[in-house]
Amino acid sequence: MPYDVKWLIEDYVILERFWGVFTADEVAAADACVITLIEHSPQATVHAIIDDTQIIQMPPITALGKIKSAQHPKLGWSIIFGNKRQGLHFVTLLANNILRFQLRFAPTCDSALNKLYELDPNIPQSQYSCDEPNALI
């Protein structure tokens, strides 16, 4: 299971981490986890920060096109950080063109979180650590 999905800021920001070779089945399983968190949040909008720094191989574009959480009415911004490989970046942009969700890129988790603070003033602006999700520094 080369992924981890959990709250970075409970009920506001999900942190999704992926590594290794990421298969279509794992995309579906991770997506189900994201949907569960979104649906259990009392907030009207939930955002996602996605860490793809350790991905070796992306799943087929058809698997990315089936991501249901990207169409969830409560999903706000998704910000991807990490992997600078052109091929992975291109596949992500293709998936975004299919799904049409709000997507941005950032160089680090902290910069992604700072961008979310700018985009959504309702997110609690305490100091959260990307290394210790859901824990104050």
Q: How far is CA 111 from the centre of its chain?
A: 14
At 84, list the tokens: 């600078």
Q: Is residue 124 part of a domain?
A: no
Q: Is residue 133 part of a domain?
A: no
Q: What is the pTM of this model?
A: 0.85
Q: How many domains does the chain have?
A: 1
| CATH assignment of the domain containing 103 | 3.30.750.24
C-alpha distances in Å from residue 97, one per residue of 50, 55, 113: 17, 21, 23
What are the tens digits of pLDDT across the range 52-79? Answer: 888 888 777 788 778 899 889 999 999 9
On whether residue 131 sits in a domain, the answer given is no
127 within a domain of the structure (yes/no): no
| Residue 125 pLDDT level (bands cut at 50, 70, 90) | confident
Q: Is residue 8 part of a domain?
A: yes
CA-wise closest residue to 126 among 137, 116, 112, 115: 137
**Which tokens hold the place of 96?**
């975004």
Within a domain: 68? yes
What is the span of the domain harbouring residue 62? Answer: 3-119
Average per-residue pLDDT in the chain? 83
27 residue type, one letter: V
